[in-house]
Amino acid sequence: MAKSNHRIRGFTLIELLLVLVILAVLAALVIPKFTGRSQQARETAAKTDISRIATAIAAFEIDTGRFPTSEEGLNALISQPAGVTNWHQAFSKMPIDPWGNPYQYRYPGQDNPNGFDVYSFGPDGREGTDDDIRFKG
């Protein structure tokens, strides 16, 4: 029987560590890009929802001759407020913001004193912080 000169060669510890370092560097570069996109997508979805709600409020005003009161809130777009005629349902269910919180409504508005405010508390869920998303109308 002839002896084979083939050697089984494996990876050294240094080679394995080098591959792990390269993978870690790549992950550190790629993962933040995906998380930034996720947050950007949520903010865009909130802005789109707020725009749809503002359009429905404007239609409510055209149909009824007034804006919903702060007390009636956004519920006035789902069910007919007492004493309101020529009302049309805008939503079967009010959307919630991408962070799981209800959208907010105020009339007269603080941002829009001659109109109304529609806004989301944003990612932190608290009013009056820099991440709030507001209707600019």
Among candidate residues 104, 100, 99, the one with its CA nearest the CA of residue 75 = 104
* pTM over the 0.85 mark: no
Ranges of each domain in the chain: 28-134
Evaluate if residue 36 carries a pLDDT over 60: yes
C-alpha span between 26 and 28 (Å, rounded): 5
Q: Would you say the C-alpha torsion 125, 96, 58, 76 has a positive or negative sign?
A: negative
Number of other residues whose CB lies within 10 A of the CB of residue 105: 25
- Counting residues of the chain whose pLDDT is more than 90, the rounded percentage is 57
SS3 call for 99: coil
Closest among 136, 82, 75 to 103, alpha carbons compared? 75
User: What gap in Å lies between CA 15 and CA 76, rounded to an integer?
Assistant: 66
**CATH architecture of the domain formed by 28-134:** 2-Layer Sandwich (3.30)
Region 37-52: mean pLDDT is 90
pLDDT tens by residue, 50-80 = 999 999 999 999 999 999 999 999 999 999 9
